[in-house]
Amino acid sequence: MTPLRSGGSVPAVVEADDDGTYVVKFTGSAQGRKALVAEVIVGELARALGLRFPELVLVHFDPAIADGEPHQEVRELHAASAGVNLGMDFLPGARDFTPEVARTFPVGSPEAGRIVWLDALTANVDRTVHSSNLMVWPTLGTVPPRLWLIDHGAALVFHHRWDGSDPERAYDFRHHALGHYAPDVRAADAELAPRVTEELLRSIVARVPDAWLADEPAFTAPDEQRAAYVAHLHARVRASAAWLPTDFPTREEIAAEEAQRAARTQRGRPAWLRQVPDLHGRPAAEQDWSGHLG
């Protein structure tokens, strides 16, 4: 139906022959098949733990469908993605959980704690105040809006270098999108860790197609690689005391850090460039664009 250009992987909204509408991520994208593996494992684990995550399906994609696409980059992406790709149920009308939305959207400490805990377990370092990968849905009707998790392709960073993976490694989650909601990660650990069993993990990694596991030189067969995912994640669950994040700055502290960063950026710019807005600092809505338009 249409390509989505908001992310580097250029997914597409696709209508499938089951009458469903999905956001499809393609095997031919620059992120590669490991991003799809992470999407399946982390997304299905989130669902198993009771977090809201759209249904995933395998989509058999024929590039001929997109022959009329005017953009060469998209056509090349589709041409490289014949066969099985990954679809996520499309949430019509969903809104991004932006900093502006976050200022007025209530998130309880327990829910924030569960989401942060999942991200810490799966090394998902891509849910920050600048890019939350959270959606608010539904936005119409009598059903109250809820947070939905999306986009876990950057998680499971350990599978990019298996020989250096450490189940006890701690990652920096100080700027997590939900950090200023006082996430109760200790309660989440007590609640969720016992549920992440080897049996559950095996059932989840079994859903990853063999073709997405075929190009990993560290393993001789897809099932061997699946066993490595299970072993690493199960060991990481048992080592939660080593990686459980507990230090989260307040909104005011984040704002102060951003101001300091912006000031350092300005000092490092030549004089002629200092009047150009810092597009990577404050949100566009908070920038003064006067004098730069027209």
Backbone angles phi, psi at 292, to 5 degrees: -115, 0
Distance CA 68, CA 261 (A): 45
Q: What is the pLDDT along the chain (294 residues), one digit of tens a residue?
A: 888 877 678 999 999 999 999 999 999 999 999 999 999 999 999 999 999 999 999 999 999 988 888 989 899 999 999 999 999 999 999 999 998 998 889 999 999 999 999 999 999 999 998 899 999 999 887 889 999 999 999 999 999 999 888 999 999 999 999 998 999 999 999 999 999 999 999 999 999 999 999 878 889 999 999 999 999 999 999 999 999 999 888 778 777 887 887 788 777 777 766 666 555 444 444 333 333 332
Residue that is written with structure tokens 């250009």 in the block:
5
What six digits make up the tokens of 94? 């969903």
* Domain layout of the chain by residue ranges: 92-195+222-268
Contact in structure between 78 and 26 (CB atoms under 8 Å)? yes
Residue that is written with structure tokens 């912006």 in the block:
262
Give the residue among 50, 192, 178, 183 at the shortest CA–CA distance from 109: 183
**Does this model's pTM top 0.85?**
yes
State the pairing for strand pair 134-137/146-149: antiparallel
Distance CA 137, CA 170 (A): 31
